[in-house]
Chain A
Amino acid sequence: MSAGPEMTLDKAELAALRDSIADVLKSECDSRKVHVWLDRENDLGPAIWRQAVELGWLGLSLPEVDGGLGLGARGLQILSCELGRYAAPGGFIPTLCVAQWLASVADGEQRATLLGPVLSGEAAFAVPVLLEGGGTVVLSESGNTVSGMIDVLDCAAGSVPNVYAVVPLSGAWAVVRVDGAVAKAEAIEAWDMTRDISRLECSSAPIIARIADADGRAGTLLGTYLALALAADSVGGADGIARKTVEYLKERVQFDRVVATFQALKHRAADLIGHITTQEALVEQAVQCIDNGSPDAAMWARLAKAGASDAFVFVATDCILLHGGVGHTWEYDPQIYIKRARLNEGLLCNNRALRDTSVRLLDEALDQGRTTTEIDW
């Protein structure tokens, strides 16, 4: 279903792209600004979104025909990783993933209606917080409308005028416009204040686009993109807080020495990097599979999400502890990351069920004579 990226950049070009994103976030989305945003005393959320629109980040991955740069899963990975590293607020993951998904599954007219406005900053997407496993709900379809209630991420998306939510129907997916009337989003107060969760209530909300999905493959693809973006965000977030924590250990003095000199803490820091780099390599596996159109992409992306979000929780937890008492205060950074980590852990599907799905997909691959482990070179 996924045709692979139209554009591939070499290692140096990818590094330059990553640096250019990181440079913007480093100055525009530093720790202080994020803390102030938590109290909604600055406009960081809308400001970052505007920057992203102006710099073309929302189109990095989209096919050229839809006005994008054609970088595919690679673009999604790099952007999500850096946004995660700086705990950037906003609904980037749902918007980027739904856009990428529509580019594969929607018809030309639907794409023209929905993707252009995303690139120009006039539209954003929301997705259900749960897409797979237990606890998912299906909305009812009647005529050309849907009704029902579902929790979605992220309806606020900066100050974007039009938010469209993707909601599951029986054997299909519907895109509805969150208009505040027939599709009404009520904010849910959640621990992670860098992203927004709402309860969406549809009462005969008109279907803007309908994606038929009798065999479930479209839904699987949406899940694959979400899994990859959540995994990359988790790796970036884990690396971000781990590096900040190491710098803190180099400043904090006890017993007349910086605590970073203690071997017990050095070994813990090294283990954090070990957890992160293993998951980074697993995300790489998922990116390659998606971009190569591998039939095993669905499995590897889900394994990456399960592994990376578990690792993010582990790393963020240990970073609280490594900070000592200040680690669990509002003022320091670990609290931001542990909340993002816990949300990532739960989004899309719980990690146990993702692993169950992955075992099933491995079994299917083996039945079809594939090992799922082939790497191109």
Chain B
Amino acid sequence: MILDLKDDLKAFREAVRAWVHETAPPERAHEWHIPKGPELVDIQRWWLAERHKVGLAIPNWPVDYGGAGLGLEHMIIITDEFARARSPGNDMFVISMNHVPGTLIPHGSEAQKKRYLPGVPAGELWCQGFSEPGAGSDLASLKTRAVRDGDHYVINGQKIWSTNSMYASQCLLLVRTDPTVKKHAGISYLIMDMNSPGVEVRPIRKSNGASNFGEIFMTDVRIPVENLIGAENNGWAVSQSTLSSERGVLSFDGAERDMMFLTDIYKQARSDKAAWLDDPEMRREFITMFAEMQASRQQLRALLQEPHDGGFSMTPSLVKMARTTLNNRIGAFRSRAEGVTSQYHDHTYRAPMYEFLETFGSVISGGSNEIQRNLIAERGLVMPRG
């Protein structure tokens, strides 16, 4: 068993490496790199199940909730080895794996933890109903209304930018339970079954034609009161736990994969004798981005080592800005490097123009970079509010 080796980090790493190469051989990477949508959900669900067999689905979760209680150094090894092996990704289950335990473990009832946590490694797909058309950066101004009716809440409203909501069976939902008080004080946090009557999901088509998030329309949806997480009207505080579970580890996996990918692109360019390699300015631009990508991996490691003492840290905001703007630059660089043929429709994995358009989403999601700048300036540099 791989987990039995956890006290010997070197042996642990080798065991993870051997297992991933055997279970998801890099030669088969096209099988999980090309598909999108429901097909990708199936592949990632298979991959989750394979990992679960050997204890690598939720190894960082507490033992009480089915995990192995592994710490950071193990998670970094696992993430690193998975990325290096170009293994299937995890992005369809990102809310399930991170936000669900991040919210339920500190704030959920015992019944909720028992009911929902085991579903995660079994492949239950969750989405998050936070943003609304009128509540983006100003999330607390959300208007989706929940009115108590006996032992249910009745929900009416609309959510947007809900990642993978079209494939989800459960939703972490923020609603307004008291419209008469200050905006942060009247919010509650519910678990919504996506198969409830009155729930309708419409995928949003992005500029690159792909759809990885949707709008959720809720019309008289009835949610049992027992699905309330934390106290009524205390949802804002609970939501901060959900959002802080985005910190670090999530981004770490992305950064590891992005570094591998950038290295792969360069190797490919060398073997193709790509024209841009003859252009000194393009080479310098590439190596500058290569260096910054490595810098962001170092920053993430520093972030993961920061104490979670409740104090404000600028690092999550700085890493988020650095990574998302760098990926946008890399997308732009690749389109320019390839020239006009980058504008022909290309269905290969992370094709330059597809990827370039894709990178705009991350600049906004998870707190737009403008919001991150406000946080850095006001909380980090203590520049006063106007």
Q: Do A and B bind each other?
A: yes
B-contacting residues of A (Cβ < 8 Å)?
11, 246, 249-250, 257-258, 260-263, 265-267, 269-271, 273-274, 277-279, 281-282, 284-285, 300, 303-304, 306-307, 352, 355-356, 358-359, 362-363, 366, 371, 373, 375, 377
Task: List which B41-84 residues lie within 8 A (CB) of chain A.
Answer: 73, 76-77
B115 → chain A, closest Cβ, in Å?
37
Instruction: Please name 10 further chain A to chain B contacts, defined as beta carbons within 8 Å, in addition to the given A246-B383, A262-B386, A274-B376, sorted by A numbering.
Output: A266-B381, A270-B317, A273-B314, A277-B315, A278-B299, A279-B295, A281-B298, A281-B302, A359-B286, A371-B263
Complex CA distance for A257 and B386, rounded to whole angstroms? 8
Complex CA distance for A278 and B292, rounded to whole angstroms? 7
Whether B373 sits at the interface, judged by CB under 8 Å, is yes
> In the complex, are the beta carbons of A356 and B280 less than 8 A apart?
yes
Residue of A at shortest CB range from B305?
A11
Complex CA distance for A92 and B339, rounded to whole angstroms? 47
> In the complex, are the beta carbons of B292 and A260 less than 8 A apart?
no
Q: Which residues of A contact B315 (CB under 8 A)?
A: 277
Whether B109 sits at the interface, judged by CB under 8 Å, is no
Q: Which residues of A contact B263 (CB under 8 A)?
A: 371, 373
Q: Which residues of B contact A362 (CB under 8 A)?
A: 266, 287, 290
Most buried by A among B76, B259, B291: B291
Residue of B at shortest CB range from A257?
B386
> In the complex, are the beta carbons of B318 and A359 less than 8 A apart?
no
Q: Can you list, as one digit per residue, whether each of B297-312 has a CB less than 8 Å from chain A (1) or not (0)?
A: 1110110010000000
Q: Which residues of A contact B288 (CB under 8 A)?
A: 303, 306-307, 355
Q: Which residues of A contact B377 (CB under 8 A)?
A: 266-267, 269-270
Of the candidates B291, B294, B302, B321, which one forms a contact with A274 in the assembled complex, judged by CB atoms under 8 Å apart?
A: B321
Q: Which residues of A contact B383 (CB under 8 A)?
A: 246, 249-250, 260-261, 265-266, 269
Asked if A359 meets B284 with Cβ closer than 8 Å, knowing A246-B381, A249-B383, the reply is yes
Whether B350 sits at the interface, judged by CB under 8 Å, is no
Number of interface residues of B (CB under 8 A): 46
Residue of A at shortest CB range from B72?
A377
> In the complex, are the beta carbons of B283 and A282 less than 8 A apart?
no
Whether B374 sits at the interface, judged by CB under 8 Å, is yes
Residue of B at shortest CB range from A284?
B298
Lowest 5 CB-CB distances: which A-B pairs, in order? A266-B377, A270-B373, A281-B295, A270-B376, A281-B298
Complex CA distance for A109 and B286, rounded to whole angstroms? 45
Whether B327 sits at the interface, judged by CB under 8 Å, is no
> In the complex, are the beta carbons of B76 and A377 less than 8 A apart?
yes
> In the complex, are the beta carbons of A261 and B384 less than 8 A apart?
yes
Q: Which residues of B contact A358 (CB under 8 A)?
A: 287, 291
Complex CA distance for A246 and B259, rounded to whole angstroms? 33
Most buried by A among B295, B370, B372, B378: B295
Asked if A355 meets B322 with Cβ closer than 8 Å, knowing A246-B383, A278-B299, the reply is no
Asked if A282 meets B294 with Cβ closer than 8 Å, knowing A266-B383, A373-B259, the reply is yes
A-contacting residues of B (Cβ < 8 Å)?
73, 76-77, 259, 263, 266-267, 270, 280, 283-284, 286-288, 290-292, 294-299, 301-302, 305, 314-315, 317-318, 321-322, 370, 372-374, 376-378, 380-386
> In the complex, are the beta carbons of B373 and A271 less than 8 A apart?
yes
Q: Which residues of B contact A285 (CB under 8 A)?
A: 294-295, 298
Complex CA distance for A373 and B299, rounded to whole angstroms? 14
Asked if A303 meets B291 with Cβ closer than 8 Å, knowing A261-B384, A278-B322, A359-B286, the reply is yes
Q: Which residues of B contact A306 (CB under 8 A)?
A: 288, 291
A288 → chain B, closest Cβ, in Å?
8
> In the complex, are the beta carbons of A363 and B299 less than 8 A apart?
no
> In the complex, are the beta carbons of B386 and A307 less than 8 A apart?
no
Q: Which residues of B contact A304 (CB under 8 A)?
A: 291
Complex CA distance for A304 and B291, rounded to whole angstroms? 8
A212 → chain B, closest Cβ, in Å?
31
Residue of A at shortest CB range from B386?
A261
> In the complex, are the beta carbons of B299 and A281 less than 8 A apart?
yes
Asked if A375 meets B372 with Cβ closer than 8 Å, knowing A303-B291, A358-B287, the reply is no
Complex CA distance for A304 and B298, rounded to whole angstroms? 13
Of the candidates A266, A352, A363, which one forms a contact with B284 in the assembled complex, judged by CB atoms under 8 Å apart?
A: A352
> In the complex, are the beta carbons of A307 and B259 less than 8 A apart?
no
Complex CA distance for A265 and B267, rounded to whole angstroms? 41
B275 → chain A, closest Cβ, in Å?
15
> In the complex, are the beta carbons of A269 and B381 less than 8 A apart?
yes
> In the complex, are the beta carbons of A281 and B296 less than 8 A apart?
yes
Q: Which residues of B contact A262 (CB under 8 A)?
A: 386
Residue of B at shortest CB range from A243?
B381
A263 → chain B, closest Cβ, in Å?
7
Complex CA distance for A300 and B299, rounded to whole angstroms? 15
Q: Which residues of B contact A271 (CB under 8 A)?
A: 373
> In the complex, are the beta carbons of A270 and B294 less than 8 A apart?
no
Q: Which residues of A contact B270 (CB under 8 A)?
A: 363, 366
